Structure formats: C-alpha cells, structure tokens
Amino acid sequence: MKIALAQINPTVGDIAGNALLITRDIRAAREKGAELVVFPELAIIGYPPKDLLLKPAVIEQCVEAIEALSAECVGITAVVGYPCPSDSAEQGRALYNAAAVCADGKIVHRHIKSLLPTYDVFDEHRYFEPGPEVDLTEIDGVKLGISVCEDLWNERDMFSRRLYHDNPIDELAALGAQLFVNCSASPFVVRKHAFRKKLMSHVAKKHGLPLVYCNQVGGNDELVFDGRSCVFDGQGNLIAHGKAFEEDLVVVDLESAAPIERPPLPVLAEAYEALVLGLRDYCRKCGFKRIVLGLSGGIDSAVTAAVAVAALGSENVRGVGMPSRYSSGGSVDDARKLAENLGIQFDVIPIESAHTAVESMLADVFAGREPDVTEENIQARLRGVVLMAMSNKFASLLLTTGNKSEVAVGYCTLYGDMNGGFSVLSDVPKTMVFELAEWMNTDACPLQRELNGEVIPVNTITKPPSAELRPDQKDSDSLPPYDVLDNIIERYVEREHSAKRIIEDTGYDTELVLRIVRLIDLNEYKRKQAAPGLKITSRAFGFGRRMPIAQRYDNRNGVL
C-alpha cells in the first residue's frame, strides 16, 4: 500500500482555512499515487482548540466540513482528525475526539480516541468522552488499526508508570490489525522526538506490523508542534520521516521502502527552530506583521531579537534602546552593534528626563525613606511605557525578553520589562540562552549563514549579566551562578523534587536552595500576569502548570 502523511500546519478555529489545507493534500497525495492519506489529530479545527470545543456551532461546522471533505475522497482514502458529538445525549461528556475515515465520496467509518490525556498542557477530559471500544477499518483488503495520539503512549515496556489501565494498540492488534495508523498532535519538547521514535519502533516490532504516525506542525499559542511524521516497518525499522518544523507531504510504499537513518537534530538547533516557528506562527495567526522590543545590550534581548529577525525578517523588527543614568556606554554600543548585525531599525530614547520627573513627583510622598527596589522598578516601568507606546503607534507586537531563570525567581518587574504580548524565552533557561547565543554565531545557524557574519556581539555574550538599575549592579548580586540556579529550577519545577531532595542530591547550601524554591513559589503571582510564552521544556510556566498563588506550603519541612 502507498501511504501519504499530510503534515499540515492548521490554525486553531480556522475551519474553512484548515479544510483548504486538507483538500490540497488529499489532491496532492492522489496525484502521487497514494491509496491512503493520513492527517493529524483534530486537523479540521487545529490543536489545541481549548474551549472552542464548548461552542455547539463550532462542532457543527467541523462535522459539516468533514462531510464536505469526504466528497474529495474518490480514488483515495483519507483519515482526518475532528471533534464530533458523542453517542449519548444524556450522560458523559458531549464530544468524541475522532478520526473520520473518508472514502468513495463519504465518511465510511470513524474511530474514537480512547486515552484522554489530562496532565501538563493536555486537558481532554474537560471536553471528550473516551471511545467505548476500539475497532478496525478495512481499506483495499488491509485491516487498519487507527488510533489517536495518546492511544499510542501507554506501552508497558516503555513507561515506568503507565497512566491508563488499557492499551488500545494491543487491543487493535488482537482484533487482527495489519497496519497501525496514528493521527497525532504531539507538542515539541527538547529531546522528545528520540523517545517518540523509540516508542514507535518498539510497538511496530512487538506486533510485527507497520506503524504510520502523522503529526501536526506549527505554533499554536504557547505550543509548538514539530511535525517529523514517520513510518516504521514491521521489524521496527524507520522507513520514512517528515521534515522538522515545516509542512510536508510524505509518501511511502510500504512494500518497497527500505530502512533509512535520520540522525537527531542537535538540541540547540531544534530549540532554535522551535522558537522561530512558534514566534512566526503566533504573529501570522494573530495578524501581526511587525515586532518591537527593547534592546538593553544584554544577551536575552539579543537572542530574542535574532529569533524575531529569523521569524519575520529584519525589515519587520525594530529595536529600542532606553538608557538611564545607570546604563553603561558599552550597553548602548552593544545594542547598536546587534542592530547593525541584524539589519534592523534601532532607536535610542533616553528615559532620564522621565525618570527625574517621576522622582520629583514622588519626592514628598517618599520623604524620609531610603531608596530601594522601588526606584529600580520605576526605571523598568518607564521603559515599559515607552515600548507599549511604540507598540501602539506602529501596530507592532511587543516582545518581552525575560528567560525562564528570571521568570522563575521573579527577577523581573511587573508592568516594566514584563510588558509585552508574547515571550520567546520564557521557557529557555539562562544557561541555554548563553548556549544559543554562541551557537547563533556559528554556521550551524541558518540566520548566521543568511547574514554571513556575526549575529550576537561577542561582548554581549562575555560580559557579566546586569539589569543596570543601580550603580555597578550585577545579576550575581542577587542570584547564584546561573548553572546552579538552573539546576535547582529544573529539579524543582520540571521534576517536582522537594527542597530536601535537591539539597541531598546536589550538595548545594541549604539556605540557598530554600531561598530559591521560596522565590519560585512567591512569584507565582507575577507569572499569572506574564505574557504567553513558547514551551520547549517538559514543564513550562504556562497553562500546563497550575499552582495556587495564595498558599502556604512550607518547603522547610524535613529540612530545618
């Protein structure tokens, strides 16, 4: 059988636009001689649709669109993900997460997702009823075992703790499936794809059956989908693989395809591609054509600006330097050099006059009190005012430039440097920001090859990080070394380790660990007000992490 994997980039809620993408690839697959074309999970509405699924009109339009698309399926069979009403109008949730099998100009079957993930960024039990049972579809004499995304992720030999009691893939095999087909919307996380391939290879080899996996690609709000659809033969060999981070139509003949090698992308390369695609799609799908951001001369704004140029082009990115009395001349020079390297417009708007005016305005009220972080934050907030004015006046998306390390411990100012409509680095630890900056200056980076020269000024990479909100300020005045900080954050946030375990496993100073985890907990209120940001790690500060603000859990328990 010749099969096509239609790795499309849907826009959430754009049912008509997504239907055009699906129609395009049905026709292209048929022209290439494919007998079967497979699309991603919920392809007609895009993943994740969130509470759009609660609108009955949306579901009606999805079903109507699939019925219309089925008319295209003459001389080819298509498997397309869509939401549809569940069988019971009286009990249970109202929807199924389904895959329609379209052939001979009509919907001939539908398969219902069995395993509904409700963890991290997934919340499918909020909307969907699990499938009552698995079943097979026969196409040209071949029995297809169709599953949807999570249905594949419960293999006993691959997980130390399985989340579900059932394994739909085993059940499909027991029914006599001859080919596994998985419609997926699997978000990107660094290093995840290697595990995906290992899982699918294991499943194919275990049952001695070919496995076809079609993944969504593109950015939808915080999530980035990396595509990389693939096919494995019955011996567990990879025989086809889609492009990473771009649309693709992969066609493979199961009978004649030979094993192939597909080396993994280096971590920095895939992180960079995810950030660029996520930002580009956020702008495109929200209607933004231009970007503005503050350029401090520091490494975070430099890396953010470089990603913005890679996403939208230098002609659509504008940098703003806003020096204060505490800014070094070198910082302005580094920001200007970055702008020259990237070929972007750069404006310098000093904030000294506004800073002086606010100090004067507050002098009587603050009389008798020593300057503290209040005065530092005023500077950050004045810069926020300037940047929001630029965003409004020039119809540009303002990017906030904070990294995961700073966001974790609250080393950022509400209504100041946290201003913005989108965050590129909010799930990128500071240590990785440095690594990305250095990598961007090598010919492994597409932007460096395009610019044919230095991307990030060397001085920006090598100088000690500083917020420059008081004389001679350095990040190290308030924070431990970033390699230590990031290790604590990774263990506490991503692995959910206790302070006690972090201390025992790392040997770090007790008071340091307790202070950092306390800062992480205390600053939940800031993160709740932060701009949405791209997710690239296993646990981001976004809608997948739901921590209370008003809480008193004491991390000192068992430590002091």
Residue 429 has a pLDDT of 97
By C-alpha distance, which of 419, 416, 437, 415 is closest to 428?
437
Q: Which comes out higher in pLDDT, residue 90 or 118?
A: 118
* pLDDT tens, position by position, 120-137: 999 999 999 999 889 999
Percent of the chain scoring above 70 in pLDDT: 99
Is 313 annotated as a binding-site member?
no
What's the pLDDT tens digit per position in 174-201? Answer: 999 999 999 999 999 999 999 999 999 9
Sheet holding 95-103, edge to edge: 106-112, 95-103, 77-85, 36-38, 2-7, 248-253
Candidate list 62, 73, 113, 273, residue with the active-site label: 113
Helix (H) or strand (E) holding 100: strand 95-103
Q: How confident is the model at residue 87 (pLDDT cuts 50, 70, 90)?
A: confident
Is residue 301 part of an annotated ligand binding site? yes
pLDDT higher than threshold 80 for residue 476: no
Examine domains 2-254 and 271-476 and report if their fold is the same.
no
Phi/psi for 137 (5° steps) reads: -125, 140
Answer yes or no: is 298 a known binding residue.
yes
Model pLDDT, residue 467 = 66
Residue 175 annotated as binding site? no
What mean pLDDT comes out for the span 58-85? 97
Predicted pLDDT at 160: 83
* Residue of 41, 150, 468, 490 marked active site: 41
Does position 557 have pLDDT exceeding 90, yes or no? no
Is 285 a known active-site residue? no
The predicted-structure confidence for 365-411, as pLDDT tens digits, reads as follows 999 999 999 998 999 999 999 999 999 999 999 999 999 999 999 99
pTM for this prediction: 0.95
Residue 477 has pLDDT above 90, yes or no: no
Average of per-residue pLDDT across 339-348: 97
- Is 227 annotated as contributing to ligand binding? no
CA 195, 201, 202, 204 torsion-angle sign = positive
pLDDT, tens digit, for every residue of 296-323? 999 999 999 999 999 999 999 999 999 9
Q: Is 118 annotated as a binding residue?
A: no
Residue 560: predicted pLDDT: 72
149 a catalytic residue:
yes
Mean pLDDT of 271-293: 98
pLDDT at 489: 97
Identify the pLDDT of residue 475.
72
88 is in an annotated binding site: no
Instruction: Give me the chain's average pLDDT, please.
Output: 95
pLDDT at residue 354 is higher than 80: yes
Looking only at the bridges linking them, the beta strands covering 217-220 and 223-226 are antiparallel
Residues in the chain: 560
Residue 334: pLDDT band (50, 70, 90) is very high
Name the percent of the chain lying above pLDDT 90.
89
Report CA-CA distances (Å) from 81 to 46, 63, 90, 101, 228. Answer: 9, 11, 25, 9, 18
Rounded to 5 degrees, φ, ψ at 122 are -95, 140
Residue among 526, 516, 439 nearest 482 (CA): 516
Residues 6+ apart with CB under 8 A from 483: 431
pLDDT of residue 329: 75
pLDDT tier for residue 325 given thresholds of 50, 70 and 90: confident
pLDDT at position 296: 94
Domain range annotation of the chain: 2-254, 271-476
Mean pLDDT for 459-484 is 82
| 526 in a known ligand binding site | yes
Written out in words, the top-level CATH class of the domain with range 2-254 is alpha beta
Mean pLDDT confidence for 529-548? 94
**pLDDT value of position 468:** 67
445-469 per-position pLDDT tens digit:
999 999 999 999 999 999 887 766 6
Q: Which of 62, 149, 230, 412 is catalytic?
A: 149
Residue partners of 232: CB distance under 8 A and separation at least 6: 200, 201, 204, 205, 210, 211, 238, 239
Could you give phi then psi for residue 292, rounded to 5 degrees?
A: -130, 145
Burial class (CB in 10 A: 0-12, 13-18, 19+), 168: buried
Query: Is 299 marked within a binding site?
Result: yes
Q: Which CATH superfamily is domain 271-476 in?
A: HUPs (3.40.50.620)
- 154 annotated to bind ligand: no
Is 119 marked within a binding site? yes
Token pair, residue 38, equals: 């497979």
**Chain centroid, CA 98 distance in Å:** 24
* Per-residue model confidence as pLDDT tens digits over 260-277: 999 999 999 999 999 999
**Which of 391, 436, 387 has its CA nearest to residue 534?**
436
Q: What is the pLDDT of residue 70?
A: 97
Q: Are 384 and 354 in contact (CB under 8 A)?
A: no
